[in-house]
Amino acid sequence: ITPMLQLVRAIMKDPNDKTTCSVLFANQTEKDILLKDELEEIQARYPDCFKLWFTVDRAPSGRCHVPRGEVYDRPCFYAPYRKRSLNPYVRVHAPIDWEYSQGFINADMIREHLPGPDDDNMVLICGPPPMIQFACNPNLDKLGYRQSQRFTF
């Protein structure tokens, strides 16, 4: 993230720079997100110029209880019911306060959180080579981003 953060800081400091930045930041867990507070502060300060989205392999979770007959409208993980339970599903683990994505970077995340493959857009990539090779580049290809629009740190 550090090479991208340097660019973001420089762009946001210049009131004459009309460049917009969108960051899709992948990590193992929420605790692994470097400089999360600073990135969120930049997003709050420059909402029209800076878009931020996280994805983690493992979202935060915690134990919770679902009373019989209760219906919840947010996604959660279920375990098969036990014979004596009237509730066909028991919620055993549910995401807690995680408003972003979970899983590897994919085409849907790119489509939803980054600008499209227009000629005036550039995609800057940094991360471990397997992530770039197996998650970023194939999905950028699928969405029509040209190699000339990509720069890897």
Structure tokens at 89: 């599903």
- Check whether 79 has a pLDDT greater than 60: no
Q: Are residues 83 and 55 in the same domain?
A: no
pLDDT in tens, 20-59: 999 999 999 999 999 999 999 999 999 999 999 999 998 8
Query: Which residue would you say has higher pLDDT here, 70 or 119?
Result: 119
* DSSP code per residue over 84-152: T-SSSEEEEEEE-S--SEESS--HHHHHHHS--S-TT--EEE-S-HHHIIIIIHHHHHHTT--GGGEEE
Confidence of residue 81 (pLDDT cuts 50, 70, 90): very low
Q: Which residue segment(s) compose the domain that 15 sits in?
A: 2-59+100-152
End-to-end Cα, the chain, rounded Å: 10
Q: Are residues 8 and 40 in the same domain?
A: yes
Which residues does 11 contact at the CB level (< 8 Å), separation at least 6? 17, 19, 21, 49
Q: Are residues 51 and 116 in the same domain?
A: yes
Residue 2 in marked binding region: yes
Q: Are residues 82 and 114 in the same domain?
A: no
Find the farthest-apart pair of alpha carbons in the chain and give their distance in angstroms, rounded: 66
**What is the number of structural domains in the chain?**
2
- The span from the CA of 21 to the CA of 19, in Å, is 7
